[in-house]
Amino acid sequence: MRKVNPENNSPTLFDLGTLVAPLETHSRSTKSFFGSQRDASAVKSKIVVDYFTAWSNIMKSRVGKIGYLDFFSGPGTYSDGTESTPLQIVRKVIADPRLCEITMTLFEDKDPEATQSLSNALAQVDGIEKLKLAPKLSHGESVRTHIEEYFQSRAIVPTFMFLDPFGYVGLTRTLMQAILKDWGCELAFYFNFNRINAAVRNSTVRSRMDELFGNDRVEAAKAVLNMHPDEVTRERILLDSLRDALYEIGAKHVLCYRFRRPTGCIDHHLVFATKNLDPAQKIMKGIMARVSSTIDSDGVGSFEFNPSLPNAPLPLAQESPTQRLAKDLMQSFHGRQMTVAEIYAAHNEGTPFTIGNYQQALRILAYDEHAVTVERGEFMPLTSNNVARRHMSEQYRITFPS
């Protein structure tokens, strides 16, 4: 990412007046989050918190302010005392003196009791007074609409937004575009496959689906979904439609991480959208790969959480995934000369492969099969006697045969 002058990045992201309230503490008890934290929720929080940590570490030396936006944020803790994503994020900010100075946070939920519970929980976090910019909280769908309109009309500082609705109400491309339109802004959200799969074909909630996908895509998806009862095909149709919808509003890269039920059926997805391949997409792709339930012998993750198959290896054909990737690269780029970074940028979208997987596939092609040639730094050919001959920098140039 290019360095941004903080003076050019000065919009007051959360100057929302009476729409939001400062952190408050009330002595009365409020209801806790229902039940104990599920394993799937823990994985989802880990992905979001790990990404915020990496993203904020990059941004903190480049800009004067950053934002974290959490809609449908919930009451902060589960009934067993486990802290949910908002409190984990705030603790990450408190632990870094620079982030304490520059980070603005806004938490929103339609339930006023959940918002009050989160306010109480935040007020009790050790070191909360270190934050120069106190967390802001809001509640109610009408307030959410006003916030959406506010973001649409203003340039905002680099912001990471997490949308975590129980269903799909509130997932609008208008809101997503309002965030993605500005430099350094990234978006992650909960995509409820089961409920959306049914909702796309339900005329009573058609307006909600139009807000997410766009009218034409809903019509096209309905026609195809009715012909395909199998879950895998339905998933592909809906995720393809979602990717197209996000590309249309400015996203350049979309990642989807699947969550299965204990039965093995698909339940929901965590979707990440960004305009930045490097470092944003690369960072998130690496995080999602690392927390996959299964990672094969080539290091390729399943990009899913599957509680029914703990620690099970991925099914392998005669070729490993990396070998299949290598073969596909040969077909996709024959006759071309590109850097490793350019190959990744042109090919990786919609695949489970990280930059490390691409580097390994290119090592196979270059050093095992001698199917491509490699030029490094000053574009001097690597020789078999070079002690670093298996290294594959992102800047190395690969020549594919015609």
| Nearby residues of 120 by Cβ (< 8 Å), 6 or more positions away | 25, 26, 30, 76
Take residue 39 and report the two structure tokens written for it.
């394993």
Q: What Rg do the C-alpha atoms of the chain give, in angstroms?
A: 23
Over the stretch 133-175, which tens digit does the pLDDT of each residue have? 999 998 877 677 787 888 888 889 999 999 998 889 889 999 9
Tens digits of per-residue pLDDT, 47-73? 999 999 999 999 999 999 999 999 999
pLDDT of residue 167: 84
Angle at 145 between CA 140 and CA 150, to 5 degrees: 125
pLDDT value at position 399?
A: 96
Distance CA 159, CA 63 (A): 11
Dihedral sign for Cα atoms in the order 391, 395, 397, 400: positive
Looking at residue 366, the DSSP 8-state letter turns out to be I
Residue labelled with tokens 């430099």: 183
Neighbours of 335 (CB within 10 A): 8
- The listed range with the strongest mean pLDDT (112-116, 181-185, 305-309) is 181-185
Query: Rounded distance, CA 156 to CA 181, Å?
Result: 9
Tokens of 139: 């509640």
Structural contact between residues 322 and 357, judged by C-beta atoms closer than 8 angstroms:
yes
pTM for this entry: 0.85
Q: Is the preceding omega at residue 22 within 30 degrees of 0, hence cis?
A: no
Residue 369 phi, psi (nearest 5): -100, -15
Residue 371 has pLDDT above 80, yes or no: yes
- What is the reported pLDDT for 4? 41
**DSSP labels for 148-212?**
HHHHHTS---SEEEEE--SSSTT--HHHHHHHHTSTT-EEEEEE-HHHHHHHTT-GGGHHHHHHH
Structure-token pair, residue 212? 């997410």
